[in-house]
Amino acid sequence: MLVSLCGPCWMAAAAANLANETQRADTLNTMKQAHPARSDPAHRASGPAATHRSLERGLAAIELVAAAGSPLALAEIARRLGLHRSTAHHLLQTLVALGWLRQEEDSRGYALSARPYQLTGRKWSVAQVGEIAQPLLEKLTAETGEGSSVAAWVDGIVTIAAKREHDGPVRVVQDVGGTRPVYCTAVGKAIAGWLPRAEVLAALAREPMVALTPKTITTVPAFEQELRRIRNAGYALDDEEQFEGLRCIAMPVFCHTGEVLGSICVVGPKHRMTHQKIASVRAPLGKFARELSQRLGFVDAGRK
């Protein structure tokens, strides 16, 4: 289940870890006090009080960004924290460097990174996954020339978290927040390929395997055989299984827990998504699947 990160538990973890990170600064200050340069204004401004103020500001910034639910601009953060713009910029860049915040490539806004999630074991919300994925989908569509989307696994349901449609007259329209079948879509099969078998069977039990096209898989044994092929290949295909005339290739996306969180896909009409084209988009799709997984806190330990 995907839930939003909230509550005092992660803030306590953040405080403890930020305190550890500032302990080095306190140690250096103690060493300097043994041989103080009393005429140095920088020395007079340092010490535990300054360190505590920095820690308080850092935690306030993290809490503010976490509560916002979407990336915040530098000016807005500075205004809400009552800080000068340059002071806020230095603070935020420090938090980015320490791994607590991330800065969006397009808007330059600030949002939570994966680190708080790694500390608490909490999971990403669909909206957060979509925000992180959107800039990558823009690049993926630009590289492949086809539409793209990211789906998340929510309560046993495949839910579209973000999309980027093709700019041409022939495009595949997708709806953010819409759901997709597990058994006949590339995004669903790419997720199912890395789920526990019991979870896959439970999903299939909730969703009748209706033949939507002549190519739709409609039995559990055939679907399990398809999942074995997907795990071996590292990607899933929808070759006109949900809609005639459409083809899609998808790869799994993992998060900080090491579990599959969703999938990322490239989709287009059959006349453009030839088998040769599908083969050519595997490399960029894999690149962005890995990048999205990393942004969600996944540490690759040789998983295919």
Amino acid at 292: L
Mean pLDDT value across the chain: 83
In CATH, 126-295 is 3.30.450.40: yes
Residue 53 has pLDDT above 70, yes or no: yes
Instruction: Quickly state the pLDDT bin for 154 (edges 50, 70, 90).
Output: confident
User: CATH 3.30.450.40 region(s) of the chain?
Assistant: 126-295
The CATH number that domain 8-120 falls under is 1.10.10.10
In tens, the pLDDT along 101-153 reads 888 777 688 887 777 766 655 677 888 899 889 999 999 999 999 999 999 99
Instruction: Quickly state the pLDDT bin for 49 (edges 50, 70, 90).
Output: low
In tens, the pLDDT along 178-188 reads 999 999 999 99
Q: For residue 46, what pLDDT is reported?
A: 53
pLDDT, average across residues 10-32 = 50
β-strand partners of 250: 236, 265
Q: For residue 165, what pLDDT is reported?
A: 86
User: CATH 1.10.10.10 region(s) of the chain?
Assistant: 8-120
CB 140, CB 288: distance < 8 Å:
yes
Instruction: Quickly state the pLDDT bin for 271 (edges 50, 70, 90).
Output: very high
Higher pLDDT, 243 or 300: 243
Higher pLDDT, 151 or 300: 151
Tokens of 121: 């074991």
Q: For residue 29, what pLDDT is reported?
A: 45
Closest CA to 151 of 86, 238, 83: 238
